[in-house]
């Protein structure tokens, strides 16, 4: 996929840059591996940015003791960064004490409070991006709080049309539908929803990833992309008209394509993203290629949000076996997006200057 090398005529923002935003990391489900991963952030792994962890400070100290890991924690102060090798903590108190590996739904409101505080900081400009550790959806629902996932929660809070995209191993895979039962997917893919998804996806690839004219491969819904209508008519009646209409506006879209042959190297060459129609059509391929080192990105928000590509792993919490690779990947992606967004805003401001000076 065209992530490492640009196609001719395609502008990409170079890595690095002058922006060093404050990245907010929510520690997620307290009984899971989120706190374990956050304790790894004392080593920056080459990430040139200030990082603050939102968590119960006592939970982090207890987990560090369980792991036998020395932890230098410092209370977060917006106006002053902590010393190198120290983890800055914005303390949010647990509802009830927590044991590693043992879910307690009473802490669900704590989990959501972490997200809400980080979102508030991102929207006010206090934080430059939000990076989330995994939450336990079932526990939150068991607490009587309807919750589908971070993506949907943030979309509702921001009043935004969003798109879920995962990146890793040189791939970008976005989803037309997210956490939805398979039987409900066909009805959810309408001309309006598909067009909105593609507009958000293309705009975000331009603004947040520096791809001037993204080429998107669009998977069909049905086997063999409907086989000319013999295996389903969604490709003919819903998808193709949308792709043709957007193509006439200058969008570089290819499809609908059979999903079973879409992810081969020749097909992916020169493409910037794949749009899959449902969760388990696109993500198994990406997670096979990059699990533990991929990043989940929510496109279309007024803020930058990335996340790990895995769940709470309750069986690994407190064991020292949790791999922080995906968290560091999510931090790098958030930092790159912040720099790309800064470059995009500077480019737009520069383009406006001649018009304003007339």
Whether the CB-CB separation of 295 and 170 falls below 8 Å is answered with no
Taking residues 308-314, report their average pLDDT.
Answer: 95
Residues in CB range of 39: below 8 A, 6 or more apart = 60, 63, 64, 67, 69, 71, 87
Whether the CB-CB separation of 170 and 1 falls below 8 Å is answered with yes
Q: Distance between CA 122 and CA 116 in Å, rounded?
A: 10
Taking residues 323-344, report their average pLDDT.
Answer: 92
Taking residues 341-353, report their average pLDDT.
Answer: 75
Q: Distance between CA 172 and CA 192 in Å, rounded?
A: 23
Residue 2 has pLDDT above 60, yes or no: no
pLDDT of residue 8: 33
pTM: 0.88
Q: What is the mean pLDDT of the chain?
A: 92
For 156-208, the pLDDT digits (tens) are 999 999 999 999 999 999 999 998 999 999 999 999 999 999 999 999 999 99
CA-based torsion, 209, 210, 212, 215: positive or negative: negative
Residue 4 has pLDDT above 70, yes or no: no
Instruction: Tell me the CATH class for 15-160+301-358.
Output: alpha beta
Taking residues 292-320, report their average pLDDT.
Answer: 95
Instruction: Tell me the CATH class for 161-293.
Output: alpha beta
Residue 12 has pLDDT above 50, yes or no: no
pLDDT of residue 43: 85
Residue 343 has pLDDT above 90, yes or no: no
Rounded to the nearest 10 degrees, the angle between the axes of helix 150-158 and helix 108-124 is 50
Q: Distance between CA 145 and CA 112 in Å, rounded?
A: 10
Instruction: Calculate what percentage of the chain has a pLDDT beyond 90.
Output: 84
Instruction: Calculate what percentage of the chain has a pLDDT beyond 70.
Output: 92
**Which tops the pLDDT comparison, 356 or 22?**
22
Residue 212 has pLDDT above 60, yes or no: yes
pLDDT of residue 18: 45
Q: Where are the domains of the chain?
A: 15-160+301-358, 161-293
pLDDT of residue 31: 98
CA 284 to chain centre: 16
Q: Do domains 15-160+301-358 and 161-293 have the same CATH topology?
A: yes
pLDDT of residue 358: 60
Taking residues 126-141, report their average pLDDT.
Answer: 97
Residue 16 has pLDDT above 90, yes or no: no
**Which tops the pLDDT comparison, 95 or 348?**
95
Q: Retrieve residue 164's tokens.
A: 């879920």
């Amino acid at each position: 996929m065209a992530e490492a090398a640009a196609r001719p005529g395609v502008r990409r923002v170079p890595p690095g840059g002058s922006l060093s935003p404050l990245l907010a990391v929510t520690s997620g489900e307290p009984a899971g591996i989120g706190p374990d991963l956050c304790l790894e952030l004392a080593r920056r792994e080459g990430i040139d940015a200030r990082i603050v962890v939102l968590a119960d400070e006592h939970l982090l100290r207890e987990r560090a003791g369980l792991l036998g890991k020395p932890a230098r924690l410092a209370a977060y102060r917006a106006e002053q960064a902590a010393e190198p090798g120290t983890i800055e903590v914005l303390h949010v108190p647990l509802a009830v004490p927590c044991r590693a590996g043992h879910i307690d739904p009473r802490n669900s409101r704590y989990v959501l409070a972490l997200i809400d505080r980080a979102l508030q900081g991102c929207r006010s400009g206090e934080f430059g991006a939000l990076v989330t550790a995994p939450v336990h959806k079932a526990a939150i629902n068991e607490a009587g709080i309807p919750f589908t996932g971070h993506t949907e929660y943030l979309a509702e809070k921001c009043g935004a049309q969003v798109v879920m995209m995962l990146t890793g191993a040189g791939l970008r895979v976005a989803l037309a539908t997210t956490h939805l039962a398979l039987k409900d997917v066909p009805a959810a893919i309408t001309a309006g929803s598909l067009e909105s998804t593609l507009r958000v996806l293309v705009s975000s690839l331009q603004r947040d990833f520096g791809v001037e004219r993204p080429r998107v491969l669009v998977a069909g819904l049905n086997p063999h992309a409907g086989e000319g209508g013999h295996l389903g008519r969604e490709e003919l009646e819903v998808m193709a008209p949308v792709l043709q209409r957007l193509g006439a506006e200058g969008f570089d879209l290819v499809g609908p394509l059979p999903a079973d042959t879409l992810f081969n190297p020749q097909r992916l060459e020169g493409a910037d993203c794949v749009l899959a129609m449902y969760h388990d059509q696109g993500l198994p391929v990406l997670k096979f290629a990059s699990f533990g080192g991929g990043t989940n990105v929510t496109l279309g928000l007024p803020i930058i949000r990335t996340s790990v590509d895995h769940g709470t792993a309750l069986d690994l919490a407190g064991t020292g076996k949790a791999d922080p690779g995906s968290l560091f990947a999510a931090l790098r992606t958030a930092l790159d997006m912040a720099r790309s967004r800064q470059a995009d805003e500077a480019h737009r401001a520069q383009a406006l200057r001649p018009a304003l000076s007339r």
